[in-house]
Every structure is written in C-alpha cells, then in structure tokens.
C-alpha cells in the first residue's frame, strides 16, 4: 500500500518541491538585492565624504535606498513567518513538539 501511496502523491509532492525551490531562489535574490543596496549606500557615503555630492543630494538618495532596503527586509520577514506557522501547525497535528 505504501508504494501505491507514493505513486499517487508523487505529482503533488513534485509540485510542492518546485514551489519550495522557487521560493528559495526568490528569497536569495531578495537578499542579494539587499546587499547591492547596502553597497550603494556605502558608495553614497563615500561620495558625500569626498565632496562629490551635496548634503541635499545625499539625503534624497539615502532616503530612496533606505526605503528600498526596508521594503526588501519586510518582504523577507513576511516570507519567513508563514514557514514558522506551518512548522508549528505540523508539530501540533502530530502531537510532538
């Protein structure tokens, strides 16, 4: 019976695996974008210190970059919370912590 169950549920498990891989890749891409924004902020600070840009230009660019970074971090946090809820629900159903 176990073999029959494996055969019947293989399409579902395959689709779930694909969605998990897509989610993992998207998460890594967002994290990479966050690192890129952090690097842009570092360069922006360097430009301000060397006098290549004015304080107003710095403030405007910094605000945009920090807003983008906050949006990325909130998306990453929102993606992590459902996974934690799924793990807790699985533990509750099985009766094991």
pLDDT at site 51: 92
Place of tokens 């890594």: 28
Tell me the domain boundaries of the chain.
2-94
DSSP, collapsed to helix, strand or coil, labels residue 26 as helix
Q: What is the pTM of this model?
A: 0.60
Query: DSSP E strands: which ranges in the chain?
Result: none
Output the CA–CA distances (angstroms, integers) from residue 59 to 20, 37, 50, 64, 67, in the order listed. Answer: 39, 15, 15, 9, 12
The reported pLDDT for the residue numbered 88 is 52
Per DSSP, 51 falls in state T
pLDDT score for 86: 56
For 37-56, b/e burial (b = at least 16 CB within 10 A) is beebeeebeeebeeeebeee
pLDDT for residue 43:
95
Collect the ranges in the chain with pLDDT lower than 50: 94-97
């Amino acid at each position: 019976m176990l073999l029959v169950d494996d055969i019947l549920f293989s399409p579902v498990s395959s689709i779930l695996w694909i969605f998990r891989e897509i989610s993992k890749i998207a998460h890594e891409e967002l994290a990479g974008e966050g690192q890129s924004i952090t690097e842009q902020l570092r360069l922006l600070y360097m430009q301000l210190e060397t006098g290549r840009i004015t304080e107003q230009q710095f403030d405007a660019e910094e605000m945009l970059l920090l807003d983008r970074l906050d949006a990325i971090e909130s998306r990453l946090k929102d993606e992590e919370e459902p996974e934690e809820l799924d793990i807790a629900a699985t533990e509750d159903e099985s009766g094991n912590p």
